[in-house]
Amino acid sequence: MDIYGIIGNPLGHSFSKQYFTEKFRKEGIVGAVYEKFQLDDISQLPDLIASTPGLQGLNVTIPYKQQVLPYLDRLDDGARKIGAVNCISFRDGKLTGHNTDAAGFRASLLGFLGNERPDALVLGTGGAAKAVNYVLGELGINFTIVSRTKAPGILTYGELDGDVMAAHRLIVNTTPLGTFPDVDASPAIPYDLLTPAHRLFDLVYNPEETAFMRQGAARGARTVNGFGMLTGQAEKAWEIWNGYSEP
């Protein structure tokens, strides 16, 4: 039995098991299962691997996309440049880290923006944000990071005034705020300063419309959730696990 899965904490919101189980059914893939492996601490990863014969690949989600790095034998070029991993392949007894978030985000963002390339605000500084920043840089989109903690080159939410909001028409939420079951939470941006010219991309995909998206749409902004990114990164991970391609 080939076993695939996802590590993270919590995993109640994760759609990955449902996605891959349906993929296996539709494509007639037999002898393969996908499981959720909720770890209390990333230090449990070696024991998980040792106790799970047949493990072929893992996805990695919050909060372990950066914490997992010391447990890997090597990184591919993309993961090394980004500094975060959301996919692990098992080859020749080695654990290799990959970042398929970048591929998933790139495809979804381009479909959302079309030919637009507005300056962006990136909300959050975690592993997902690193993939987002990498893609924005590749696409030539100027971006500013927003965090609750002040640091050089980083704005706090309290600094998002009228001038900043008008100058940054793309806002990408990389934080988990608004994820099921805490569906009423949202990043503390000044929603009253949003306009129909703004574009809101939420990496959260459960619920389908987050509070962040809903407040933007109420002011005429275009919005999209992270489901397209999820499916894009999942398919890229499947290709990597099966040796079809590298990101």
Residues that are catalytic: 65
CA distance 135 to 232: 14
Pairing type for strands 222-224 and 120-123 reads unpaired
Using CB atoms within 10 Å of the CB of residue 23, give its burial: 0 to 12 exposed, 13 to 18 middle, 19+ buried: middle
Question: Taking a C-beta distance cutoff of 8 angstroms, is the pair 72, 57 a contact?
Answer: no
Pairing type for strands 55-60 and 2-8 reads parallel
Six-digit token string for 109 = 């963002």
- Find how far residue 144's CA is from the centre of its chain: 18
What residues have CB less than 8 Å from 28, skipping those under 6 apart? none
